Every structure is written in structure tokens, then in C-alpha cells.
């Protein structure tokens, strides 16, 4: 496995604007990107903390993955994303070791990254994302 760092932490929120205010005015971080990922039915806002990002996720559809998460669990940490090299190989290796994959092949996430999720049933309760920046 070749993980270099935590790329981001995904946090599900009810209201992006209210939450951005907290991160900016209380924590003093700067939101540098807001992006809608139609595919995932979310609007995202990004903050940098060193090499790691905070990704706020607001649902655009109650039937989408974040909509359902908020309904079931409320606001809070939704997933952790590791930066990997060779995402296809990492997925194959994980599956080979018995991990259940949500995405068998990577798809496009926010910021043009290739992303794929591992099922929390196989990762001790933490929805785990692999991501790779192939433009780097
Ligand atoms: Zn993510």
C-alpha cells in the first residue's frame, strides 16, 4: 500500500454557508474552493490545513449519499481520504485482501481527483476514500 498522507477529511453538514462561517471566523481558515459534484449530489467547500484539506459536504438531494447520512447520523465526520499512488492497483490489492469496495474503478471527484471508496463494513466503521491527483 502506498499512502503518502491524509488528503482530506470529509464532513457532512446541513448548511454550507453557516459552516463556512465557523471555519473562517472561529478557526481562521480560508475557504478556497466551492464546487458542486452533481454525480454525488453534494456541494463541497474546501479548506487547507497544512497538506491536508477539510471537505465540507452539503447535500443537494435528500436521496443522495450525504442526504441519507445526515438523516441517519446527523452532522459530523463522514469519511477520511488517503492520498495514494496508483489508485487502480491499491483498489485491486485491497479487494484481493478481502476488503469490500464501493467503487471497483476510480471515478472523478471534486478538484479533478480520481477517487474510490472502500465500504465501512470492511474498514472498521470508517468510510475510507482513496484519491490520486494524476495531474501531479
Ligand atoms: Zn472525499
Per-residue pLDDT tens digits for 21-51: 999 999 999 999 999 988 889 999 999 999 9
Distance from the CA of 77 to the center of ligand 1, in angstroms? 11
**pLDDT at residue 91 greater than cutoff 80:** yes
Separation of alpha carbons 58 and 12, rounded Å: 6
Distance from the CA of 105 to the center of ligand 1, in angstroms? 16
CATH number of the domain to which 57 belongs:
3.10.180.10
**Residue 96 lies in domain:** 3-132
Using one digit for the tens of pLDDT, what is the confidence trace for 8-24? 999 999 999 999 999 99
Q: How confident is the model at residue 1 (pLDDT cuts 50, 70, 90)?
A: confident
**pLDDT at residue 81 greater than cutoff 90:** yes
From residue 71, alpha-carbon distances to 65, 87, 89 in Å are 10, 31, 34
Count how many domains the chain has. Answer: 1
Distance from the CA of 25 to the center of ligand 1, in angstroms? 23
* Per-residue model confidence (pLDDT) at position 109: 86
Distance from the CA of 129 to the center of ligand 1, in angstroms? 6
Distance from the CA of 93 to the center of ligand 1, in angstroms? 21
Separation of alpha carbons 103 and 42, rounded Å: 18
Using one digit for the tens of pLDDT, what is the confidence trace for 47-76? 999 999 999 999 999 999 999 999 999 999
Amino acid at each position: 500500500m502506498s499512502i503518502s498522507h491524509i488528503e482530506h477529511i470529509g464532513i457532512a453538514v446541513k448548511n454550507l454557508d453557516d459552516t463556512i462561517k465557523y471555519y473562517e471566523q472561529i478557526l481562521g481558515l480560508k475557504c478556497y474552493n466551492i464546487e458542486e459534484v452533481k454525480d454525488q449530489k453534494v456541494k463541497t467547500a474546501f479548506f487547507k490545513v497544512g497538506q491536508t484539506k477539510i471537505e465540507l459536504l452539503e447535500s443537494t438531494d435528500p436521496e443522495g449519499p450525504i442526504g441519507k447520512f445526515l438523516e441517519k447520523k446527523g452532522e459530523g465526520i463522514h469519511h477520511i481520504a488517503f492520498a495514494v499512488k496508483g489508485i487502480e492497483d491499491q483498489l485491486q490489492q485491497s479487494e484481493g485482501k478481502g476488503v469490500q469496495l464501493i467503487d471497483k474503478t476510480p471515478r472523478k471527484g471534486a478538484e479533478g481527483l480520481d477517487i474510490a471508496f472502500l465500504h465501512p463494513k470492511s474498514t472498521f466503521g470508517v468510510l475510507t476514500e482513496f484519491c490520486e491527483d494524476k495531474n501531479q
